[in-house]
């Protein structure tokens, strides 16, 4: 650190060889005086470098009380700092002919300076404009030798543009001049440097122009012309070091009586000081002579300028670095950095003022390699900065995991456990009393089982306490008016053989219970009173029996928590969970027992599949969250716990390696368990606490109590206790801090007292013990975490990198070898993470963490002896990402969208690295990266695209959360009910699991950027799908599906949290408002428009919450195509306007004629008629020869009306027909659950031979393939698809829809349209009149990848949507990009489409109610929109969307009315598969 502060900060900025230097000027700082800045000029290749002083410090003015004399340095560069540091900029010697100034407009000044390099190198021209706030451009060219006119040089500064092929224009940049310790900015100065290396160029000629004001600056009406200097043409005068100019200026200020100068006077004084020194140099005085004259080494001289308390530059730098680290290494602006140096200097000066010597100061702050860190930082950047790693370029598709959890393979078949005698007698007693059971609990007690049964009949309440224990027992009990309270029972409640004593009652058990003489029991009868429960313990001789070291307590009120009998265990590995519940009493003895039991059950859990492992996870998480007892009357050595953990994690490692589909859930289990010990690290828990007590003289009190606990049963609580002690000591022995740390981590005073070796005392240490305890407890924390904290970063890294700890005396030694085969540079990467783990600026840390995880990935997917150590390291890195992101939220408060999006990519990558089925997540990540690139390239639609990626990301999170809910929650509720886990913990179990992962952090980031994107994309807070003005009463529901069959008595505005897209809108509903995003052309959207129901999606959570808060109130809704305004209507307004009325009468019924079998099982397209097929088939037949040639129509045949009725009447189907007839009668009686049974029955129909032969003939006549040609199985597939179409007549949605309009369901007939499936690249739906605005001049369409089922069905996400004016079909406008996560694709095949006589009726649109079934199963493919030309290729996009719009327009012209059209695109060709009138 011998180099001075200024040299480290700024020397690099003075020695540069770039073609433009404005950035170096803006970034460069003045050096600290005394650190020999002149050395940089001596090493420079330039002929002359001198320094011009900027505007001096505002607050200094050489005032006496500013300690100016404390900063001037010696010639060795290690002296102290001066407070007034003028800014240095490159300029020529004032005496040089190459430095000129011009006045531009009275206030502004232009200064031009030419610096000539050594022979063969370039010249530099510095151009500076002072005191001008204009945005100036240099309008310029060069004049070569022997030429008169301008030419344009090939080498040009960045940002230069060619102006009309005749000149160059380069912007001047605002210069920022700063002093080292006080920020001074001259925002009205502009600067530009040009470098010319062509020896043929003789002159630079230019003008200055402000384009915004069209203002030009010239020299007396002419161009400015600068002759380039050449080596040898200038006088070789030495530069004057800047610190000498400062000292000379200081001496002048002293000689003049230390006057208070105005800024201009200060500047003049500095220039005068410089001229005086230049005069001395011109007389032949050397720089060294000048220095010796000005700075005398004799510190006793009255003329010395070096103060006695001079602070070396390197100490100031180190102190500033320490301050920066304590602040969390924030990103400082240059001004802030300079202020930090000044604050560091002040802190050191205060220490010196107290009498601390410089040597003592140096020893105090220079610890470790801090001087190396500081030197490296300042040398590289000139200021403290956060280092960043360079991430490797990787193909994100390599992150994709497609491991799907397999179906459960139940190898363990466990017979139901026979009820115990006590359970049988309990059931008998409940039946005998014939009352209401308030509470029934069974407890495991020593040598038996205990039952407490509370029943109530009328006002009489009975409490039965029964047991199968053979020894004599006494019930020691009391009543409670609040849980856990002890009160003496009233005499009227005392059973026989009772005695009141010591504030309680003792009652002896009697022989027999419910007729069983081998049992013992007590019966307590009481009137209904104020008591809410009973508290008790048992006594067997002199021994007390408790409930896990606590009193038993039985409530008299019925519990809200479900009992085991109320939970059927569906969706769980039930037999495994039952076994866990049976073993819980054994597992409670100690963590060693629990881990060993879990190890024994692991093979069983693996055989049960994902649900089995979910059961283990639930059990271990109950343990980790302290819902279960960790220790009960059993002493166990720490190394035995550690060894049990080791065994359990070994078995988990094996599953992780062998069954990749379970890796995600295995990771979650390991996170709850902890690593366990290697090298007998567990034994050190016992050994080291003794050493701490001995070394620090703290053998009694709380430390001794903790020592006893550690020796008998160490647990994860000990990590928290250790941290609490460290926090207590660091905070000046503040006991409140100790308790705050404990309680915030779930350890209460009661928990400390509940240990087998209870901790009663608070810590009490002496101040002289502070340093030793902090050191030893800090080391002890590493040992505790090595055993108990699987996700602790420091211990996980240490375990993988290897470490050893020597044994001392009785202590064991630990030697952990490094994991073999780690990637090159991996240790350095982990060290980077550790160095920056507490940084306030978290972005570089996140990059390092994710790079480390990416490097680990290949090792985790492979084979490794130490795989579990790598898993724990990955878990620790994952956990640190989450905490860093949460810490970084503040950093994003005022961040630009690009930064927030970048954070999202980091969190998404972390989530992808932790997930099994992550393909959708990876494509979301690619989408965000694409959005960032669109933003950087200034694409006008980047925000709209980013919003679609955001919507898709939310869907991915919802899918993941739903999977967790389905897999974990049933096991949590079932096992929790058996283990007595509190209901609040059960109800939020899955929610807490999700919150512990990256998904929660990602969701918060999405919420932060969503309103920003909506604003930038001009999306507003609403998407109005059906703009109808309505008034109604607000009702809030979770799902529209749950109320679709309901009828509301009065007009109702439904706020539905979830809308899938296929639901019916309930009767009486006038509006549906939802945060969900169904497609504008989905079934429910069409239904809403047809029924004149207001339907809109709300994107603003605050608005949605406000609407939900108005449940039961009456609102008026006034929507437009893009917004929705609502207001409350009071009772007076309702009464006067009669707004809300009950529905009167009933909706008019629709009549359709029942179609008869026409004698044909199959017909060709030219035979389609009103009597034979529905509108869908007829429209296809109509279009066949009428659409333009570039629009394709698929080949079609049909099974006409009546074929189903004919088939079901076939003799071979008589039994099926009878069953359907019987089920239909039940349906008419309101048994709607038979709909599913009817559909299943229809699927059993047998095909008549006539149908088979006729269909085969018609298909072949039409040129379509006959499925039977590929084998009998293919025909069976086709026949099943036909039956599914017929059966869809009885799907719930269609049935209830027809009921609402009173359409005779028996009269509804189903034809089947048979078409070739076009293996589509894209599918689309067109409405030739915009449905949102009802604008007939505008076509609205939606497009998806693959088959159209994802567009018209209940599939998540939005399609690409666009509009197109009919008078400009070549200019489609995109309204929204797609967010659908997957597309459906299919081989060339046949599809069977429903075509009923109940579709497209006047006043009722039945389209979409019934199923269309392909013969082959579609393939679900996750979509990567960053590779989709419809998204990335504007020419392709415009061509395809225009073609779709033109097809829609042509078909509308054919019919003369607005059309609802479905079609596909294959290899660029448009195919229309159906059209109907737009409703």
Alpha carbons within 13 A on the beta-carbon side of 508: 8
Q: What angle separates helix 770-788 from helix 638-658, to the nearest 10 degrees?
A: 40
Task: Return the structure tokens found at 994.
Answer: 């999700």
CB 138 within 8 A of CB 172: yes
CB 1389 within 8 A of CB 1418: no
- Strands of 792-947 (E only): list them: 803-805, 814-816
CB 117 within 8 A of CB 124: yes
Give the residue ranges of DSSP H helices in 327-452. Answer: 334-353, 358-365, 370-381, 421-433
CA 1235 to chain centre: 42
SS3 state at 1145: coil
- Provide the phi-psi class of 628: left if phi over 0, else alpha when psi is between -120 and 50, else beta: beta
Partners of residue 1095 on adjacent β-strands: 1026, 1072
CB 652 within 8 A of CB 613: no
CB 1315 within 8 A of CB 1390: yes
Task: Return the structure tokens found at 927.
Answer: 């989408």
CB 453 within 8 A of CB 440: yes
> CA 1026, CA 1332: separation in Å to the nearest integer?
6
Task: Provide CB contacts within 8 A for 54, sequence distance 6+.
Answer: 86, 87, 89, 177, 179, 184, 186
CB 908 within 8 A of CB 953: yes
Alpha carbon separation from 1005 to 442, 886, 964, 1347, 1444 (Å, rounded): 47, 10, 21, 33, 37
> CA 1317, CA 1384: separation in Å to the nearest integer?
13
Partners of residue 1311 on adjacent β-strands: 1395
Residue 963 appears among annotated catalytic residues: no
CB 1024 within 8 A of CB 1119: yes
Task: Return the structure tokens found at 1329.
Answer: 């009149």
Sign of CA dihedral 50, 56, 57, 61: positive
**What is 65-106 written as a DSSP string?**
GG-GGG-PPPTTS-S---S--PPEEEE--TT-TTEEEEESSS
- Ordered strands of the 1360-1365 beta sheet: 1191-1192, 1469-1477, 1459-1466, 1322-1327, 1338-1345, 1360-1365, 1373-1376
> CA 1240, CA 1234: separation in Å to the nearest integer?
10
Task: Return the structure tokens found at 234.
Answer: 């200038």
> CA 989, CA 996: separation in Å to the nearest integer?
11
Nearest one of 979, 981, 546, 590 to 755, comparing CA atoms: 590
The rounded radius of gyration (Å) of the Cα atoms in the chain is 42
> CA 127, CA 98: separation in Å to the nearest integer?
12
CB 746 within 8 A of CB 985: no
- Strands of 933-1029 (E only): list them: 1022-1026
Under DSSP, the state recorded for 1234 is: G
Q: Which of 21, 930, 1083, 1327 is catalytic?
A: 1083
Partners of residue 174 on adjacent β-strands: 190
Q: Is 381 exposed, middle or buried (0-12, 13-18, 19+ CB in 10 A)?
A: middle
The residues annotated with a catalytic role in the active site are 1083
């Amino acid at each position: 650190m011998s180099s001075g502060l200024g040299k480290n900060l700024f020397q690099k900025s003075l020695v540069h060889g770039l073609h433009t230097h404005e950035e170096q000027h803006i970034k460069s700082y003045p050096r600290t005086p005394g650190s020999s800045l002149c050395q940089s000029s001596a090493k420079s290749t330039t002929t002359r470098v001198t320094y011009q002083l900027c505007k001096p410090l505002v607050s200094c003015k050489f005032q006496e009380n500013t300690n100016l004399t404390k900063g001037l340095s010696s010639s060795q560069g290690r002296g102290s700092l001066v407070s007034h540091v003028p800014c240095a900029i490159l300029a020529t010697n004032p005496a040089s002919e190459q430095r000129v100034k011009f006045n531009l407009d009275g206030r502004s000044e232009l200064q031009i300076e030419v610096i000539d390099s050594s022979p063969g190198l370039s010249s530099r021209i510095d151009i500076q404009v002072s005191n001008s706030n204009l945005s100036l451009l240099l309008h310029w060219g060069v004049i070569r030798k022997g030429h008169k006119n301008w030419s344009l040089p090939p080498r040009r500064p960045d940002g230069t543009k060619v102006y009309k092929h005749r000149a160059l224009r380069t912007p001047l940049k605002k210069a920022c001049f700063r002093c080292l310790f006080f920020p001074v900015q001259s925002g009205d100065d502009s600067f530009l440097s040009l470098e010319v290396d062509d020896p043929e160029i003789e002159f630079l000629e230019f003008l200055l122009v402000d384009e915004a004001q069209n203002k030009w600056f010239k020299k007396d009406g002419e161009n400015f012309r600068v002759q380039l200097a050449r080596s040898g043409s200038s006088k070789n005068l030495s530069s004057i070091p800047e610190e000498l100019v400062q000292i000379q200026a200081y001496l002048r200020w002293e000689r003049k009586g230390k006057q208070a100068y105005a800024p201009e006077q200060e500047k003049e004084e500095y220039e005068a000081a410089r001229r005086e020194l230049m005069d001395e140099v011109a007389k032949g005085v050397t720089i060294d002579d000048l220095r010796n004259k000005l700075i005398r080494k004799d510190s006793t001289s009255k003329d010395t300028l070096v103060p006695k308390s001079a602070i070396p530059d390197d100490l100031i730098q180190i102190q500033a670095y320490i301050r920066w680290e304590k602040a969390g290494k924030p990103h400082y602006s240059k001004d802030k950095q300079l202020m930090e140096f000044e604050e560091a200097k002040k802190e050191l000066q205060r220490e010196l003022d107290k009498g601390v010597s410089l040597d003592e100061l140096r020893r105090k702050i220079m610890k470790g390699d801090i001087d190396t860190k500081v030197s490296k930082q300042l040398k590289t950047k000139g200021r403290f900065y956060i280092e960043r790693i360079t991430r490797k370029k990787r193909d994100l598709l390599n992150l994709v995991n497609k491991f799907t959890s397999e179906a459960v393979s139940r190898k363990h078949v466990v017979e139901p456990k026979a009820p115990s005698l006590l359970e049988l007698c309990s059931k008998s007693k409940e039946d005998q009393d014939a009352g209401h059971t308030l509470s029934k609990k069974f407890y495991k007690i020593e040598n038996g089982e205990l039952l407490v049964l509370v029943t109530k009949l009328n006002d009489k309440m009975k409490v039965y306490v029964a047991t199968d224990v053979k020894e004599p027992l006494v019930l020691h009990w009391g009543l409670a008016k609040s849980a856990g309270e002890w009160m003496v029972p009233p005499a009227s409640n005392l059973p026989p053989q009772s005695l009141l004593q010591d504030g309680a009652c003792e009652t002896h058990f009697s022989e027999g219970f419910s007729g069983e003489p081998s049992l013992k029991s007590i019966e307590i009868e009481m009137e209904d009173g104020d008591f809410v429960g009973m508290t008790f313990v048992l006594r067997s001789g002199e021994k007390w029996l408790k409930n896990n070291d606590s009193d038993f307590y039985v409530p008299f009120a019925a519990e809200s928590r479900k009992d085991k009998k109320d939970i059927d265990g569906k969706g769980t590995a039930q037999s495994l969970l039952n076994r866990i519940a049976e073993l819980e009493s054994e597992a409670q003895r100690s963590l060693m027992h629990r881990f060993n039991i879990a190890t024994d059950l692991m093979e069983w859990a693996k055989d049960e599949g994902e649900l089995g492992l979910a059961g283990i996870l639930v059990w271990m998480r109950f343990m980790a969250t302290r819902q279960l007892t960790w220790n009960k009357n059993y002493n166990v050595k720490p190394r035995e716990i550690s060894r049990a953990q080791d065994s359990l994690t070994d078995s988990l490692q094996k599953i992780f390696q062998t069954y990749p589909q379970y890796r995600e859930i295995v990771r979650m289990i390991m996170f709850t368990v902890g690593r366990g010990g290697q090298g007998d690290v567990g034994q050190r828990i016992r050994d080291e606490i003794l050493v701490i007590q001995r070394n620090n003289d703290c053998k009694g009190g709380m430390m001794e109590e903790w020592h006893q606990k550690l020796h008998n049963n160490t647990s994860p609580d000990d990590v928290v206790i250790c941290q609490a002690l460290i926090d207590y000591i660091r905070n000046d022995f503040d006991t409140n801090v100790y308790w705050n740390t404990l309680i915030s981590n779930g350890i209460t005073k009661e928990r400390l007292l509940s240990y087998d070796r209870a901790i009663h005392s608070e810590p009490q240490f002496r101040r002289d013990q502070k340093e030793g305890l902090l050191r030893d407890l800090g080391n002890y924390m590493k040992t505790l975490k090595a055993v108990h904290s699987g996700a602790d970063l420091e211990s996980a890294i240490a375990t993988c990198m290897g470490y050893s700890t020597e044994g001392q005396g009785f202590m064991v030694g630990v030697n952990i070898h490094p994991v073999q085969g780690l990637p090159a540079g991996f240790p350095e990467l982990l060290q980077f993470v550790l160095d920056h783990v507490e940084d306030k600026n978290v972005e570089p840390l996140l990059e390092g963490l994710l790079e480390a995880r990416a490097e680990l990935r290949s090792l985790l997917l492979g084979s490794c002896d130490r795989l579990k150590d790598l898993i724990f390291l990955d878990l620790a890195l994952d956990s640190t990402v989450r905490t860093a992101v949460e810490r970084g939220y503040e950093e994003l408060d005022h961040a630009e969208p690009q930064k927030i999006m970048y954070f999202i990519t980091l969190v998404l990558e972390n989530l992808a690295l932790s997930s099994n089925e992550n393909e959708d997540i990876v494509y979301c990540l690619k989408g965000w990266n694409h959005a960032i690139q669109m933003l950087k390239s200034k694409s006008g639609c980047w925000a709209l695209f980013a919003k679609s990626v955001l919507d898709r990301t939310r869907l991915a999170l919802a899918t993941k959360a739903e999977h967790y809910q389905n897999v974990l929650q049933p096991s949590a509720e079932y096992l929790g009910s058996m283990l007595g886990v509190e209901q609040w913990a059960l109800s939020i179990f899955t929610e807490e699991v999700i919150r512990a992962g990256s998904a929660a952090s990602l969701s918060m980031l999405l919420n932060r950027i969503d309103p920003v994107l909506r604003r930038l994309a001009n999306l507003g807070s609403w998407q109005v799908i059906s703009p109808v003005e309505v008034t109604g009463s607000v009702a809030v529901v979770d799902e529209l599906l749950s109320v679709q069959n309901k009828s509301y008595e009065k007009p109702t505005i439904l706020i539905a949290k979830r809308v899938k897209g296929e639901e019916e809108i309930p009767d009486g509903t006038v509006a549906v408002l939802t945060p969900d995003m169904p497609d504008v052309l989905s079934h429910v959207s069409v239904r809403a428009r047809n029924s004149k129901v207001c339907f809109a999606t709300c994107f603003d959570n605050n608005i949605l919450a406000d609407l939900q808060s108005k449940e039961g109130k009456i609102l008026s809704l006034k929507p437009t195509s893009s917004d929705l305004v609502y207001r409350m209507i009071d009772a007076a307004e309702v009464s006067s306007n009669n707004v809300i009325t009950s529905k009167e009468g009933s909706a008019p019924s629709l009549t359709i004629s029942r179609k008869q079998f026409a004698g044909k099982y199959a017909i060709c397209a030219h035979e389609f008629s009103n009597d034979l097929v529905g509108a869908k088939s007829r429209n296809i037949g109509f279009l066949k020869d009428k659409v333009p040639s570039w629009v394709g129509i698929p080949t079609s045949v049909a099974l006409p009306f009546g074929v189903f009725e004919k088939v079901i009447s076939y003799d071979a189907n008589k039994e099926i027909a009878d069953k359907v007839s019987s089920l239909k009668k039940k349906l008419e009686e309101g048994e709607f659950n038979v709909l599913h049974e009817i559909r299943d029955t229809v699927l059993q129909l047998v095909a008549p031979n006539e149908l088979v032969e006729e269909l085969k003939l018609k298909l072949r006549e039409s040129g379509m393939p006959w499925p039977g040609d590929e084998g009998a199985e293919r025909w069976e597939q086709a026949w099943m698809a036909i039956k599914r179409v017929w059966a869809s007549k009885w799907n719930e949605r269609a049935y209830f829809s027809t009921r609402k309009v009173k359409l005779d369901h028996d009269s509804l007939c189903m034809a089947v349209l048979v078409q070739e499936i076009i293996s589509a690249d894209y599918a689309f739906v067109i409405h030739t009149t915009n449905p949102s605005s009802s604008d007939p001049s505008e076509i609205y369409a939606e497009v998806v990848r693959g088959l159209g089922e994802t567009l018209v069905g209940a599939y998540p996400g939005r399609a690409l949507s666009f509009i197109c004016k009919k008078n400009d079909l070549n200019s489609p406008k995109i309204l929204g990009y797609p967010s659908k996560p997957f597309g459906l694709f299919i081989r060339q095949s046949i599809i069977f489409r429903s075509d009923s006589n109940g579709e497209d009726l006047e006043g009722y649109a039945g389209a979409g109610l019934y199923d269309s079934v392909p013969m082959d199963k579609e393939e679900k493919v996750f979509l990567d929109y960053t590779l989709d030309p419809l998204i990335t290729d504007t020419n392709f996009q415009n061509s395809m969307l225009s073609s779709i719009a033109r097809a829609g327009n042509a078909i509308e012209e054919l019919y003369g009315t607005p059309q609802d059209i479905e079609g596909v695109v294959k290899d660029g060709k448009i195919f229309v598969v159906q059209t109907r009138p737009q409703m």
